[in-house]
Amino acid sequence: MAIQPLMNTYNRLSVAFDYGQGAWIYDTDGNKYLDALSGIAVTGLGHAHPAVTEAICHQAGKLIHCSNLYTIPLQQQLAEKLTQVSGMDNVFFGNSGAEANEAAIKIARRYGHSRDIDKPAIIVMESAFHGRTLATLSATGNRSSQAGFEPLVSGFIRAPFNDLDAVKNILRHNNNVVAIFVEPIQGEGGINVPSNNYLEGLREICDQHELLLMLDEVQSGNGRTGRYFAYQHTAIMPDVVTTAKGLGNGFPIGACLARGKAAAVFGPGTHGTTYGGNPLACAAALAVVNTIEKDNLCQHAESLGQYILDSFHIQLADKPYIKEIRGKGLMIGIELTDAGTELAVLAKVKGVLLNITGGGRVVRMLPPLIMNQNEADLLVNTVSSLIRVYAGEDTAS
């Protein structure tokens, strides 16, 4: 078989996109699609948002990069903005979710060593997704994506998600745990929303055992669930929060925010990156964070998300092929009783972009925060009808 010039890391659908506008994206043949995936929770402000376009164009003509060896005023402004919206103390900028998570893992290890723990361990969850670098892949709770990459990075102990007793049990048998690392809502794992007291329970355990509570908000952050960060639905504060995806609306940037003792772990020379937090990335992200605030997009994501969830409940209530309809804000999943892998292709044919996750059984929708109610209605009607036809209840329209 001839080797293709592009490494074979994705099963791609046969469509190529040319341009986008708001919640819509257009392929090279001129067909339009309602983008209910947002490039997997990335383009929260929709495509070609004027504030982001203008910030990128302006900064690209001024200064793209200069190195973290120098003061970068836009990086400082973005750090101030993010600490203000999150209540955290400081930030390290990288270029992706995995890099933000690498920083968090390194903070946890160094925190452990500062407490004379030689082999620090981090509790991570089943079905978690933290990235594809070796450490973040090792933290990820999906055996199939780890297969073939052994030896994995050691120092991770796995607990079932949403199970406080399992975490307590691990702590009874291990005295080297330094942190708990968890997604407030699991994205790749299938839009798994934990019970109401879960994060509070983890916070209490961390306080009792002097552990860092580290939240991976790479997918759930930047307004997606109806708060800037998903933990802000609760009264707790984490010690470390990571984010990426929606932060740059497509321009690559990741952030690891820390607070209190975690914020004092790194010193000069302990961590770094060439590109992370360069002027262009920070200009794009500042435009995103300011727009989310100015246009009240967290509130909009909360109310539109609830409207979409309620509408799906009405359309698909009591159907035997639906296991659960769940989500928070604009992080929405419909779990089917059987595999529904082909639904992403069928939805594309109907002009809607979504994807299937959670072991092939969860229809995942991550619409942009700027989606309007008419577009939401179109999404719900198209996807509900598609699922009914797929399950054999309706004939194809």
Footprint of ligand PLP (CB under 6 A): 40, 96-98, 101, 129-131, 183, 187-188, 216, 218-219, 244
Identify which of residues 84 and 145 has a Cβ nearer to ligand PLP in the complex: 145
Query: Residue 190 Cβ, how far from ligand PLP at the closest point, in Å?
Result: 12
Instruction: Please tell me whether residue 114 adopts helix, strand or coil conformation.
Output: helix
Are the beta carbons of 287 and 247 closer than 8 angstroms? no
Query: Residue 310 Cβ, how far from ligand PLP at the closest point, in Å?
Result: 25
Alpha helices in 238-331 (DSSP H): 279-294, 297-316
Identify which of residues 218 and 347 has a Cβ nearer to ligand PLP in the complex: 218
Query: Residue 158 Cβ, how far from ligand PLP at the closest point, in Å?
Result: 16
- Distance (Å, whole) CA 275 – CA 96: 11
Through-space distance between the first and last CA atoms of the chain, rounded to whole angstroms: 39
- Distance (Å, whole) CA 393 – CA 375: 25
Question: What is the chain's alpha carbon radius of gyration, rounded to the nearest angstrom?
Answer: 21
Identify which of residues 224 and 388 has a Cβ nearer to ligand PLP in the complex: 224
Phi, psi of 198 (to 5 degrees): -65, -55
Query: Residue 75 Cβ, how far from ligand PLP at the closest point, in Å?
Result: 19
- Distance (Å, whole) CA 224 – CA 299: 10
Query: Residue 379 Cβ, how far from ligand PLP at the closest point, in Å?
Result: 21
Query: Residue 314 Cβ, how far from ligand PLP at the closest point, in Å?
Result: 29
Query: Residue 303 Cβ, how far from ligand PLP at the closest point, in Å?
Result: 24
Identify which of residues 100 and 380 has a Cβ nearer to ligand PLP in the complex: 100
Identify which of residues 99 and 375 has a Cβ nearer to ligand PLP in the complex: 99
For residue 382 the two structure tokens come to: 């198209």
Instruction: Please tell me whether residue 110 adopts helix, strand or coil conformation.
Output: helix
- Distance (Å, whole) CA 289 – CA 302: 17
For ligand PLP, which residue has the nearest CB? 97
For residue 20 the two structure tokens come to: 């986008």
Identify which of residues 301 and 380 has a Cβ nearer to ligand PLP in the complex: 301
In one-letter notation, the amino acid at residue 165 is: D
| Angle, alpha carbons 8-13-16 (nearest 5°) | 100
Identify which of residues 126 and 204 has a Cβ nearer to ligand PLP in the complex: 126
Identify which of residues 218 and 383 has a Cβ nearer to ligand PLP in the complex: 218
For residue 85 the two structure tokens come to: 């919206």
Long-range contacts for 12-21 (Cβ within 8 Å, ≥24 apart)? 13/344, 13/345, 13/348, 15/348, 19/47, 19/48, 20/46, 20/47, 20/48, 21/46, 21/47, 21/48
Query: Residue 189 Cβ, how far from ligand PLP at the closest point, in Å?
Result: 9
